[in-house]
Amino acid sequence: MAVDRYLDLEDMTATCDFIESVLPYLPEKDRKQYELTITAARDGAENVSKETVAEMAKNIAIITWPQRRALARFIETVGSELEWEAVVKNVRPSTATVLRKLRKDANAPDLAATLAHPDASTVLKDDQEIEVSMVRDEARVDLYEDHQEALEPLVAEASVELEAIKKRLKKIRERELEAGGSQQERLNEKLTDLEDTIYFGGEVIPLEVLDAEVQFTGGETVLEG
């Protein structure tokens, strides 16, 4: 059965789109190689493999995770209304009208809650959902650039958090390589899911939850430290 992941690394177009979407979180001087690879991949260059683009996507996902996570925390608190206003301002008027009505009917506090409401998938047409997603990504980049200095403490906290997560995932990878047969397959699948959720989805999974997930998947697998 196919696994529903945040990013399908087998899809070259989607992977290039992801890389492009997080490029603004990198210093401008560090973007060139990513931009060249994306352009080559989209032009069908034979020397750019799917594996190369996938590895590049994972690399930039990790590098930009603290910035994206810090911004998410900002939006979850004091920046939620700023995100709402930016999205409603930049989508088409018809889409903005639907969003406003949906938020009112759902009594939602922000855009995230509005889009998470069960009625959202019914009220918003497919093209409107795509439009909102694209505008939301752009709005978040603008918010990051506008509030970058204020976000620095949150970025520093997220960087520490990321290092702890990376160490735990490394331990899981080591245990996966030591395992055999079906246990190794289960651990590899679980690790891929976790990396997708954390790195590409930009989410946080507490260390104790990581341990519980892998212990459940791997049977006797127990991580310490």
pLDDT given at position 29: 93
Instruction: Please name the helix (run of DSSP H) or strand (run of DSSP E) that holds residue 152, with its range, or none.
Output: helix 148-178
- Alpha carbons 165 and 192: distance in angstroms, whole number: 14
Residues of the chain with pLDDT under 50: 1-2, 220-225
Task: Let me know if 224 is exposed, middle or buried by CB neighbors in 10 A (0-12, 13-18, 19+).
Answer: exposed
Q: Which of 25, 17, 133, 27 is CA-nearest to residue 71?
A: 25
pLDDT given at position 224: 43
pTM of the model: 0.86
